[in-house]
Structure 1
Amino acid sequence: ADLAECADCHIQVAQSASLLDKLLPDHESCKTCHDVEDESTCTTCHYEDKFEALIQTKSELIFNHSFHINDKGLECKVCHEGLSTVDYSSELSNPNPAMVKCYSCHNNEPGSPAANECESCHISTANLNPQSHKSAMFIDKHKFAARELGADCMMCHDNNSCEDCHVASGITATNSSKDFYQPYTPGNFIDGIKQQRITRIHDLNYRFTHGIDAKGKTTECSGCHEVETFCSTCHASVDHDFALSGVMPVSHLKNNFFTIGVGSGGGEHAILARRDIESCVACHDVQGADPTCITCHLDSDGIKGTNPKTHPTNFRSDEHGDWHNDQGSVCYNCHSSAGPQSISGVGFCGYCHGAK
């Protein structure tokens, strides 16, 4: 006989838009293959001599089977893993998918096909803490859980969660474990809130090796540090006692780091900026406020083609840009000859809007 498909028994699933629907098989679906009137065969499905209707567990989740099956083309086994290895689903500790399986699509990665908000799947967002988080000492010991192989804190947390205690954006000097940082909530004897000590995350020699992590993107430095100010403590100060004071990246010392002239391509700095603009941000404000950039990247005359190319091809295809109505738009840091009240067809506005 042919192997049964999931839909042969769970016939309602493909049309179900809610986990409140009846998704377990009943006698009507079973009798297409089984003799449901023969009491001697009841134990085929009803184990432990409990000859009663299967009771569906109430779910606290939002899930649309029809959408995932019919619109997204997902097979049952993508989420319900392990069923092909057992005779009865009861042999599995939990035949339903774990949250980590949902996270394979519902994440914040670029190009993610699904939303990551808790409300997308959870009917109620109250008390969603995993069992491991309910330990009385979890706050003190959570760093060990975070370091475990396979730990994925970002499934539920973002950097803001960590910054409630581990705030380093204001620490630009010693940044040692003795530094104190006042949390956002005032403390008193009732709520038990007290000053938080910045936890030492990096080893004592990290300043000599941190460049490897920063360059390789293995660590998101900006999650804790204000890179525009934090990095310059060592990399720009000439009167600091750190060994790295005044260091300029090797790439900046190349003869062709800057090339001037329309069509020159800008030299090595343009190549590096297109490849990894985040590295530039460590020292420079790439949004135009840094005089290092706008010394050249400045459109003060409103004449197209006379200034270094900054934007990629088709950058202006977004006709709904904020430059149309926001006087504080970042565009006007460089395009200084224009504003939302400028005359159509003149200067910067004339790049798109011809003279009338």
Structure 2
Amino acid sequence: MSARKTRRPSGRPLPGWLAFVACLSALVLGLVGPDASAQAADDAAPAESAAPPPAPPPGGYKSGLYPMPNDAETPLAFMPPGSAATPVPSEEIYPPQTITIRFNHKKHTKDLKQTCKSCHAAAYTSDKVADRLMPKAEQCDACHDVDHSDLHDVKAGTDANGQCVFCHIGDKAGEKGSVAPMVLPNANLVFTHKKHLDRNIQCGQCHGQVGELELATRDQLPRMAGCFACHNMSGAAQGQAKGACTTCHTARNDGRMITSFTTGNLVPPQWMHNAAHTPDFIERHKSVAANDSAFCGSCHTTNECTDCHDGRVRPRKVHPNDWLSIHAQSARQDNPRCASCHQAQTFCGDCHRRVGVARDTGSGNRLTGRRFHPPAAEFTTAPRGPNHHAWEAMRNLNACVSCHTERDCATCHATKGLSGGHGVNPHPIGFRDKCGAAFARNPRPCLVCHQSNDPFVRACQ
């Protein structure tokens, strides 16, 4: 054997001893046979790598077993509206199904010119999700050579389309000759087909283009993102399609949604207010709750919030770090979220007294120039300006009474002489024309300043 030097891809010659080993290996492989290495590789491969051949379809039929022929992917254009946001329907709303028949919707609608109502007429009068909307077996007898008049003694004809295996897949467990039942659990929703159909909302607007498919599965059930096309409108355009959660979702007696089901817990999707309960939601939920606390209240109670935010379970992380210097503006806006955790006369009042900005604090505690209200020239004396206390009281009287009592107001606004006040009229222009409604609603505030025999009060009775 001539010792021709084998070259690497780079063009450099191999060492002589390596070339000798290569030639020897080629000689050994030639003696053993060309299939030895392949056989060795097959022996080393794990046994489970060889996938079993797919089971043949029942009766040799291939259509109607999947939504698309050969189980191809269903085009998005055929799917229900909202499928782009939610590709797979929620198992908490639509529990898993067991479909034990083959059916070709496209064959029936395109070739045989059948309509949805031909088989699902019950949907046009259905008022609840528990109604059975699937066609009765005897409806098929008009076209198929079979007699379903007695379901305990079904008589198959001679044509292929009348044999059980033509539509049914598999036998009932332990009973040869009995077809396997379909399992179609009720949706966990409040829904009426009749109201939607009466408003000319057709099947495809909720279920997609079923007429373009073969087998319809739970993938053709409506998506909430699609429902929002009508139920999330505003004003007159919304009509009767209300957007409250309990319009469609089941609820407890207290009005909160039922979120726990045997198939899992119902949580908001990502596209809804960015409220998906993903692992990072503990950091994001503050923004969702701040934007729309009523949305959170659809499922959660206030106690669930205070369990964490009252400071006993974990550190209080409700407010930003500079909240102490900016909280006054939010408090003036009459934000109810303050009162959901704090008591104004204790929590707020105690802090204001300590720092010397409360009315009843010791003058020695008040820092130079520190005051709670603007100067008297702006806050109390006329003319009224943006900082006048009259506007503050009308905007948020609850904030005033957290420090002041009713007598503080009567000091100035009570009637002169009769009640010891200064006689400053607190009523707006034209109040006398509508004082009767105010007195009928609650006369007690009137009697703080007026005597019962006051002619002004008699005029309002």
Per the normalisation by structure 2, the TM-score is 0.41
Q: Which one has the largest radius of gyration?
A: 2
Relative contact order: is structure 1 or structure 2 higher (C-alpha 8 Å, sep ≥ 6)? 2
Per the normalisation by structure 1, the TM-score is 0.49
Q: Looking at secondary structure, tell me which structure has more helix per residue.
A: 2
